[in-house]
A and B are shown apart, each in its own frame.
Chain A
């Protein structure tokens, strides 16, 4: 049973426009959420995170929004650039020290010229 769901396997966005990647989760005990970016032949790299006490976290072109009541988070990339083409993994973790990170299956983002 998937606790972290990324229902869009892929997404294509025009360069310069906004990319919105979505993620849903089922476990209400999750209290820390992360986005990782993965290029081919490389491991995932940490992109941005958000604690459940916040509903928004921004870092440059990247903003993560958290809607706890809907158990939904999204990653916004504005403006989208060619280098943003990658697979994006949503991940979540509980509040205890031993809680592991649960990953979603990823969404492949294509930035079109």
Chain B
């Protein structure tokens, strides 16, 4: 019954070694988001896709990229992970961009990234 699935749940990568995190959804939602959450901090939006349209947050480092090959899947690529990129990465979906009644965000369980 999982609606937003993230793989893997735990990922260990080496400093500077590219890593890809995966998200899939069964809700057929138009919008997919990637958030970064560090310990005891608020989730921070990195970017989102509305259908195939990509929207990068102004303060998202260039090190972070994303791909959405189809409605169901969205990937987060970290080109050269640094120690500061260790965090929980949350994928979310919503029916529409407008966050109102009936279009709330649904989150996946997250991928915890460790950088050694």
Question: Chain A residues in contact with chain B, CB under 8 A?
Answer: 2, 4, 9, 32, 34, 36, 41-46, 49, 51, 89, 93, 97-106
Write out the residue numbers on chain A whose beta carbons fall within 8 Å of the beta carbon of B57.
Answer: 100
CB < 8 Å A-B pair total: 57
Question: Chain B residues in contact with chain A, CB under 8 A?
Answer: 4, 6, 9, 40-45, 48, 55, 57, 90, 92, 96-101, 104-110
Known contacts A4-B42, A9-B40, A103-B42; decide if A43 and B4 are in contact (CB<8 Å).
yes
Bound Cα distance A105, B9 (Å): 22
B42 touches A89 (CB 8 A): yes
Bound Cα distance A100, B40 (Å): 20
Which residue of A34, A51, A97 contacts B104 across the interface (Cβ within 8 Å)?
A34
A41 touches B109 (CB 8 A): yes
A100 touches B104 (CB 8 A): no
A45 touches B101 (CB 8 A): no
Which residue of chain B has the shortest Cβ distance to A43 in the bound complex? B107
